[in-house]
Structure 1
Amino acid sequence: MPSGQPVFPRRVPDAYIAMRGLVVASLLILLVGGTDAFRICAFNAHRLTLTKILARCDIMVLQEVVDSSQNTVLFLLQKLQRSDKTQVLNFYQYNDTEDIFAREPFVAQFTLPSKILPSVVLVPLHTTPKDVEKELNALYDVFLDVSQRWQNENVILLGDFNADCASLAKKRLNSLLLRTKAGFHWVIPDGEDTTVRASTNCTYDRIVMHGQGCQKLLKAAATFDFPRRFQLTEEEALRVSDHYPVEVELNKAAQGIPPHCLSTLLLLSLSQLG
């Protein structure tokens, strides 16, 4: 992990990269089980009140966590521990010269414990509903920028894309550059409900993968129905978020890592824009 605190533009002062161990001792039982897969997740979490969700993932992208005092984030960072499973190689905030994005993507490159896929780039995005199509098409430019900058086409684009229902009609969805350009795989399928409310059925949250290494290691991709897993009522779940996390598992990327060494790396992408 790079030494010192990264410096960000004034507009987005609240993006962090940090290594995470156990937030509280009660999470230990969730980590001890282990898995052959390396799990990367994205979660539009309104409140960090159910840390068991975070403990599932080796890399977690958090979005829409609003904490004006930043006390919650600092508390998490103080509890984080360095991970032997992955490291941050590079990071930067995309230079949005045309002011297309409401929240400029904060891009990061991570090592993976795999000879097939030694590193992967994550490009998170939380679109604003009124400009979904424009921002998602501009995400292709972010892909070109990062893949050229780091000479790495194994890229995972993920987050709350608002890519369904009233925000983006199916006809417009299929005309996106990330749909028409070769090599991009939308691994959270259209029609997968990523919303908690029983009254909605929208595939807002997405994971899009590019690169042969990603494809070779892809084991599974799905939403995580945390209300069902933790036996929460809809009202209780909505106190955490009205979105399910979305996650992708890379097969055998973590082979040889002892289960008790599992830890989580968080890419905290916080937004004052909500």
Structure 2
Amino acid sequence: MGISGADKGINNPPFPPPQIITRCDIMVLQEVTDTKGQVVPLLLNTLDSTAGPGAYQALSSPPLGRGSYQERYVYFYRPGRAQLWDWFVYEDTHPQRPDVFAREPFVARFSLPSPALPELVLVPLHAAPGAAEAEIDALHDVYERVRERWGQQDVLFLGDFNAGCGYVAASRWGRIRLRHDPPFRWLLGDDSDSTVRGSTHCPYDRVVVAGERSQSLVVPGSARTFNFTAHFGLTEEQALAVSDHYPVEVELALDGAWGGPQHPPLALLLGLGGALLRLP
């Protein structure tokens, strides 16, 4: 998934259109490769002008990856809706599965204005295509690390898992602990499509939720890909200037109820998996 740094306006979209981010209380971008550290401040300035000063804050991981090519995970969040408590880069040293991740998950813990779900942990992953099965399976180890570190069971995994179309064969899903163990609920099925190109249909980007409380608050039908091509009336060429993947999203009813305007969802979490941010 590529996102250009050129500011082209909504008819030729910038990276990513602020209208995508401002749909969200928390958003995660992936594949950020800005070595000069200019993109995130620039995007925050854009959000200040569109959503109001200080409407969003950002948290960026260190560069992650093997060799010279490295990426960052970046969280954008509304401080009035979610408070950042803590974060860590997963230490990829499991004795049975050392160095399994090409880009270790950057785990963040948020407090939410909700007695029903006072906090939530987010785990983004951009899996290497050739190692997608092993990396998705190893998210189970990340979950155990979160439980050990924070005693937290409400965890949301999201991002470009490369979870399909030859990278994970149907016959292999039974070997993946994150797929079949009871704590985990996959919110997007294998028939979903998170690719922008009309010629492809692949469920690369996923949302997986763990924890009874958070699972009970998922608004029915809210887990989906956000088709910004249709939403903004773009051509495929214009959409590809934003990204070749659609974001995945889910809404949580933090007041513990849903079903009408009197119970709107209080949090929208959306991850633009595999988003490549770079300045021209």
State the TM-score, normalizing by the size of structure 1: 0.75
Counterpart of 2:43 in structure 1 is: 76
The DSSP-based 3-state class of the residue aligned with 1:90 is strand
What is the Cα deviation at residue 267 of structure 1? 8.9
Counterpart of 1:104 in structure 2 is: 104
What is the Cα deviation at residue 71 of structure 1? 1.4
Contact 1:227 1:233 in 2 (8 A): yes
**Does residue 56 of structure 1 match 2:23?**
yes
* Alignment RMSD: 2.8
Q: Distance in 2 between matches of 1:155 and 1:264?
A: 15
Q: Using a 3 Å threshold, how does the CA distance of structure 1 residues 159 and 77 change in structure 2: closer, same or farther?
A: same
Q: Using a 3 Å threshold, how does the CA distance of structure 1 residues 269 and 192 change in structure 2: closer, same or farther?
A: closer
Counterpart of 1:24 in structure 2 is: none
Q: Distance in 1 between matches of 2:107 and 2:158?
A: 11
What is the Cα deviation at residue 251 of structure 1? 1.5
Q: Distance in 2 between matches of 1:71 and 1:268?
A: 19
What is the Cα deviation at residue 67 of structure 1? 2.2
What is the Cα deviation at residue 128 of structure 1? 0.4
What is the Cα deviation at residue 51 of structure 1? 1.6
**Does residue 237 of structure 1 match 2:239?**
yes
Higher mean C-alpha deviation, range 103-112 or range 44-53: 44-53
Which of residues 80, 87, 109 in structure 2 aligns to 1:91? Answer: 87
Contact 1:88 1:109 in 2 (8 A): yes
Counterpart of 2:131 in structure 1 is: 131
Q: Deviations over 1:85-141 (max 9, x none)?
A: 110111011111221111010000001121111000001100000111111111110
Q: Using a 3 Å threshold, how does the CA distance of structure 1 residues 268 and 72 change in structure 2: closer, same or farther?
A: farther
Higher mean C-alpha deviation, range 44-53 or range 146-155: 44-53
Contact 2:247 2:271 in 1 (8 A): no
Q: Distance in 1 between matches of 2:204 and 2:154?
A: 23
Contact 1:45 1:63 in 2 (8 A): no
The DSSP-based 3-state class of the residue aligned with 1:167 is coil
Q: Using a 3 Å threshold, how does the CA distance of structure 1 residues 266 and 245 change in structure 2: closer, same or farther?
A: closer
Counterpart of 2:150 in structure 1 is: 150
How many corresponding residue pairs? 225
Among the aligned pairs, what percent are the same residue?
47
The DSSP-based 3-state class of the residue aligned with 2:153 is coil
Higher mean C-alpha deviation, range 230-239 or range 171-180: 171-180
Counterpart of 2:72 in structure 1 is: none
Q: Using a 3 Å threshold, how does the CA distance of structure 1 residues 209 and 104 change in structure 2: closer, same or farther?
A: same
Which of residues 38, 46, 59 in structure 1 aligns to 2:3? Answer: 46
Alignment of 1:167-178 (within 5 A): 167-178=167-178
Q: Distance in 2 between matches of 1:153 and 1:268?
A: 24
Q: Distance in 1 between matches of 2:43 and 2:193?
A: 30
Residue type at the aligned position of 1:200: T
Counterpart of 2:263 in structure 1 is: none
Consecutive unaligned residues of structure 2, counting only runs of 5 or more, are 5-14, 58-78, 258-265
Q: Distance in 1 between matches of 2:267 and 2:191?
A: 32
Consecutive unaligned residues of structure 1, counting only runs of 5 or more, are 1-43, 256-261
What is the Cα deviation at residue 183 of structure 1? 1.6
Counterpart of 1:164 in structure 2 is: 164
What is the Cα deviation at residue 66 of structure 1? 2.8
Counterpart of 1:67 in structure 2 is: 34
Contact 1:163 1:173 in 2 (8 A): no
Contact 2:107 2:122 in 1 (8 A): yes
Q: Distance in 1 between matches of 2:177 and 2:255?
A: 29
Q: Distance in 2 between matches of 1:167 and 1:106?
A: 23
**Does residue 197 of structure 1 match 2:197?**
yes
